């Protein structure tokens, strides 16, 4: 079945450091991929999405490129801030109808 592998956390970085969170998947169905972010005490919210191969999603300085040949969708940010401290979830394509799958989440802590 469809599956996703997301980099385990926690990840601790200093402010202004470079961030990469890896995500790979096995599904080959609907092409959209998503990254969600969850701040403490809140529900998940969409961070960015990509809808086709080689598409790059971006938002709030975060970027992720849909690499169909490597089935990956790694999240990157050039300079993290303390306010980026949160849990990040990768959500890859799924081949089933109506269903979504999520990675286990990567907790990011950014220190001032």
Partner 1 sequence: DAGITQSPRHKVTETGTPVTLRCHQTENHRYMYWYRQDPGHGLRLIHYSYGVKDTDKGEVSDGYSVSRSKTEDFLLTLESATSSQTSVYFCAISRGSGQGSNEQYFGPGTRLTVT
Footprint of partner 1 on this chain (CB under 8 A)? Answer: 6, 29-32, 34, 42-46, 49, 51, 89, 91, 93-94, 96-105
Q: Return the number of the residue (5 or 17) whose C-beta is nearest partner 1.
A: 5
Q: How far, in Å, CA of 27 to CA of 44, rounded?
A: 22
Q: Return the number of the residue (72 or 94) whose C-beta is nearest partner 1.
A: 94
Cβ atoms of 103 and 14 within 8 Å: the answer is no
Backbone angles phi, psi at 66, to 5 degrees: -80, 105
CB of 88 to partner 1, least distance (A): 11
The tally of CA atoms less than 13 A away on the side-chain side of residue 60 is 13
User: Tokens 């200093």 correspond to what residue?
Assistant: 14
CB of 66 to partner 1, least distance (A): 13
Q: Return the number of the residue (14 or 95) whose C-beta is nearest partner 1.
A: 95
């Amino acid at each position: 079945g469809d599956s996703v592998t997301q980099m385990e956390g926690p990840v601790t970085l200093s402010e202004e450091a470079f961030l990469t969170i890896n995500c790979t998947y096995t599904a080959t169905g609907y092409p959209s991929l998503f990254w969600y972010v969850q701040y403490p005490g809140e529900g998940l919210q969409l961070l960015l999405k990509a809808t086709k191969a080689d598409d790059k999603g971006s938002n709030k300085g975060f970027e992720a490129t849909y690499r169909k040949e490597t089935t990956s969708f790694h999240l990157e940010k050039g300079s993290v801030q303390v306010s980026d401290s949160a849990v990040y979830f990768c959500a890859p394509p799924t081949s089933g109808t109506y269903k979504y799958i999520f990675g286990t989440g990567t907790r990011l802590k950014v220190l001032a």
